[in-house]
Amino acid sequence: MTTPSTPTTTIITEVSGSQTMDKKEVDDKLELVESVDSEFEFTKDFGFLPIPKHLRYNPAKPPHFGLLLNIAFGFASTFIVANLYYCQPLLIQLSIAFDVTYGEVSIIPTVVQAGYATGLVLISPLGDLLRRRQLILCIVAISTSLTIGLAVTNNLVVFEVLSFLVGAVTVTPQILVPLAADLAPEKRRASAIAMVLSGLLFGILMARVLAGVIAEFRSWRVVYYFAIGVQSLVLVGSYLMLPDYPSKNNDLSYFRILWTMGKFAVTEPILIQACLINLGSSACFSNFWVTLTFLLGGPPYNYSTLVIGLFGLVGMAGVAMSPVVGHVIDRLVPWYASLFGVIMLILFQSIQTGAGGISVAAVIIATFGLDIFRQMLQVSLTTAIFGISASARARLNAVSILSIFIGQVMGTSVGTHIFVKFGWRASAAFAMGLYGWQFFILLIRGPHCKRYTWFGYEGGLEARKSVVREREQLEQEEKDRQNETPSQQPQDDKREKGESVDLDDKMAVGER
């Protein structure tokens, strides 16, 4: 009769049967066993909802982050972030439905974005504190429930309050991005991040187009019924596909998490550099898409709203290049991918500046190129940021996304004002100036600077990530050899000569 085998009994058997295991190895294995055993307790979400067995966290067999799960992350990002943009094409219908002026409904997009900013600060950092599976299920369920209220209410004030709350819980993509970085193997981390971020960009572009088309033929409420349906699909898919993963930073409180997020924002050179670049990049992106409506709707084009909306499909084609973008970034040091992205953005923006108001071909080319390389820039910067600290990725991502949010507001307001007052070429030149700013900020700090180096270049100029990784591995091995104690070296010499090392010698080394 045999007894059931558990991680603990397996390790104890190994220890008792080994004659060459030192004290430190024994302690390390037993410590691992304790952590393994503690992780197996999570079999339910929220204490009552069973987690499918194949999704429960097993440290001996970490979750596999394959293509299907990566696509699911992108799909969820698409249809959750769309909550922020459904209202924008519906403002005229909303003013009629609530019997108010255009001015009174124009506050709705601002309210939604204010809620989103609140969620970025107060909710998304929880990804560094709580189990992400439970957190995602919770906020998706809340956003779905609140969207039901948006679809049925007849009161403008209630609609605005619900819009703020929906915006606050529309931070699922900002929890999925760091989770993808944690789950994906290091060699394809950028590809995983690129696919999730492409889903986010798809949502931004698709929401406006989809809401406009649905509202053209049906009531505005159908848009929100659609939103309820796709969010419910995301909720069910999350339950059936999202692997459980242990919480991080159990020694930190919620307020300590918020404090450290603020600290990162002023003490991490890589993060600050990335945020300054992201601010300018997102300002250019929002400036382009907002003023594109004015450009195509006026002379010499005079396109209809439907035709203008179809330009979103050109942007989506650019976003669809995310697998290629991620593949390139996975092989480069992130700084070089950012440099290439900025240079290409300057090139395509120069096309828009020179011929955007003259030839529609120039507009199409610029739209396609700006979307591809805007994505490359954001993915490479995000990859660099996540390299700062694996245990703080949700907080680092929240700071980065806040800079993007500020840039969007700046690009929309300033870019629109310049376009209305000075025309399309001046607006495009404003974007060119911002791209020059990004190029400058990137160049003042080199690709291999140490974590707390603010300016300059050090560590060479190698661009290939594989070469850098091999060099770092060799340097670490050399340090390990130099740090070996004299008592360890004879044991190593014995191994090299093929001689056995007895248990007494090993235990003596361990005690010392």
At 419-476, the pLDDT tens digits run 888 888 898 999 999 999 999 999 999 888 888 888 888 877 777 777 777 777 787 7
pLDDT on residue 439: 94
pLDDT band of 24, cuts 50, 70, 90 = very low
Q: Do domains 63-252 and 259-467 have the same CATH topology?
A: yes
What pLDDT digit, counting tens, does each position of 248-285 carry? 878 888 888 889 888 988 899 999 999 999 999 989 98
CA separation for the pair 236, 140 (Å, rounded): 10
With a pLDDT cut of 90, the percent of the chain lying above it is 19
More confident site: 396 or 328: 396
Residue 498 backbone zone (phi > 0: left; psi -120 to 50: alpha; other: beta): left
For residues 244 and 133, the answer to whether their CB atoms sit within 8 Å is: yes
Check residue 489 and give its pLDDT.
52
Tokens of 380: 């490479």
Q: Of 296, 262, 292, which is closest to residue 402 (Cα–Cα)?
A: 262
State the CATH class of domain 63-252. mainly alpha
Q: Is domain 259-467 in CATH 1.20.1250.20, yes or no?
A: yes
Token digits of residue 192:
């995983």
Give me the residue spans of the domains in the chain: 63-252, 259-467
Q: Which of 16, 37, 40 is nearest to 26 (CA)?
A: 16
Residue at token pair 């800079």: 403
456 phi, psi to nearest 5 deg: 105, -170
Query: How many whole angstroms separate alpha carbon 34 and alpha carbon 331?
Result: 38
Alpha carbon distance 402, 262 (integer Å): 12
Q: Cα dist. 359→117, 362, 371 in Å?
A: 38, 5, 19
Is residue 144 within 8 Å of 235, Cβ to Cβ?
yes
Contact present, 325 and 194 (Cβ < 8 Å)? yes
Is residue 438 classed exposed, middle or buried when 0-12, 13-18 and 19+ CB atoms within 10 A define those classes?
buried
Supply the pLDDT for residue 422: 86
- Give me the pLDDT at residue 491, please: 53
What b/e readout covers 302-327, taking b as 16+ CB neighbours within 10 angstroms? ebeeeebbebbebbbebbebbeebbe
- Position 32 scores a pLDDT of 42
Indicate if the pLDDT at residue 190 is higher than 50: yes
pTM reported for the whole predicted model: 0.76
* Residue 95 predicted with pLDDT over 90: no
What's the rounded mean pLDDT across residues 106-118?
85
Cβ-based neighbours of 251, under 8 Å, separated by 6 or more:
none
